[in-house]
Chains A and B, each alone.
Chain A
Amino acid sequence: MNIPADLKYTPSHEWVRVEADGTLTVGITHHAQDLLGDMVFIENPATGRVLNKGEECAVVESVKAASDVYAPVAGEVVAANAEVEASPDAVNRDAYAAWMFKLKPANPADVNDLLDAAAYQKLVESEAH
């Protein structure tokens, strides 16, 4: 299973990277793209949108199904990746390179509530029965 140790995770299968300037880069995990299959459509939140923790803010759709993406913490969208919208299959090729959007967290300490790699791995294993 591909779960980089330096990232944070959510139970809804988003990954989060804390950048040097404190912004959070968000995408969906390798496991999530594996469940969904070939990606064909991605819609990111608009830059400037202010999100609550857990708010539906983006959509990823594979040939098979649509899935919502949730804000990992409260914050403001400061960037959205137009390239993954143009080439959704980038998420299948490398889920951790194909980031979706960047958040400026309302409270930087909120990232401490996210899962670390070991906890996320446990969660994925438990979902696999």
Chain B
Amino acid sequence: MSDLKQTPLNATHRELNAKMVDFGGWDMPVNYGSQIEEHHAVRTGCGLFDVSHMLPLDIRGDNVRAFLRRLVANNVDKLQVSGKALYSCMLNEAGGVIDDLILYFMDASWFRLVVNAGTAEKDLAWMEKMNAAWGMGLTLTPRRDLAMIAIQGPDATRVLNEALPGVDQITAALKPFNAAAMGEMFVARTGYTGEDGFEVMVPAKSAPFFWKALMEAGGRPIGLGARDTLRLEAGMNLYGQDMDETTSPLESGLAWTVDLKSERDFVGRKALEASEVTRQMVGLVLLDRGVLRSHQKVFTRHGEGEITSGTFSPTLQQSIALARVPLGIAPGEEVEVEVRDKKLRAKVVKYPFVRNGKVLIS
């Protein structure tokens, strides 16, 4: 317990009687009562998430764009307007995924990245190594002095505007997947729930006050439990579960984030181009009673696959999953999933399952 890392909101979560768990070495709230109620609150109102365990990382220097062109699989040249964000994988030479991250273009010599908590140290070491190997001369600054709060749901704009007088000038103009800096504060219209919303970075010492203001404006604290069911309904990958260093982004439902059109020589490109893609990610909806979980075997007419993430969907009121299965398996087909000693029937669907409060599968 004493060894766990704490976010600047740790005391706040404890005051709110959150159930705290060890989440990859961080002492984090898994729920504040009912995970399902928290899930619905985000789909219908506004939820607040402490995501300060994730690491904002500033990369500065004249070569920053050239560096990122080689470092990540998506093309940072898509970012030409200050504040614009890009989702990408960072690959190893074998084409496996070191991490998935978000990059914000701020100015010609400054990009801000946000990387996963569990991979932050590994990511930083890799980036420093490449920085040196390529002679880029960049400065990489981890921003543990910042706290990050996600404000998500159809009511997110109103809650943020009310909690933070003056921010409406930013939120009114901010398009999805864009960010703006306002002094020490950084406001991004991004998230991990499939709803409209923001991820806001503030100085660590301001975080508890900001959190309380958001609650007073009607935001409801949401734990990591609901964060997982929300992201899975929204069809968003979770690093370490749906992809890792041994899996290709092309077999993880992430081909849309890999830019092979440009001439860039990014790390992992050669391996990806030489690889044969034999598997794909699909969505599953369980037809029988039960709950799909990661690592369960999937039996298809083209051979075996595996569930990478599975849960009970509070919006659909049935179990859903992401599964890596052989190519050729198409939406509408039925497959079988091994759950304990039984084989249960599941339907293959195109995901996301839910976006903006609406069920997208039939």
Contacts and interface: CB of A to CB of B under 8 A. Distances in A.
A59 B293 CA distance: 14
A38 interface: yes
A74 to B, nearest CB: 21
Interface string B272-314: 0000000000000000011101000000000000000001101
A94 to B, nearest CB: 15
Interface residues of B, number: 18
A117 interface: no
Interface string B149-162: 00000000000000
A43 B341 CA distance: 13
B31 interface: yes
A38 B293 CA distance: 16
Interface string A53-67: 000000101011010
Contact of A63 (B1, B19, B289, B311): B311
Contact of B225 (A37, A61, A92): A37
Contact of B312 (A43, A59, A61, A129): A61
B194 to A, nearest CB: 17
Question: In which size bucket is the chain A interface?
Answer: 10 to 19
Interface string A26-49: 000000000001101101000000
Contacts of A63: 35-36, 225, 229, 311-312, 314
A40 B291 contact: yes
A84 to B, nearest CB: 13
Interface string B325-362: 00000000000000010000000000000000000000
Contacts of A92: 34
B225 A66 contact: no
Interface in B16-37: 19, 30-31, 34-36
A64 B34 CA distance: 11
A40 B225 CA distance: 14
Given A41-B291, A66-B293, A59 B340 contact: yes
B97 to A, nearest CB: 25
A77 B311 CA distance: 30
Interface of A: 37-38, 40-41, 43, 59, 61, 63-64, 66, 92, 129
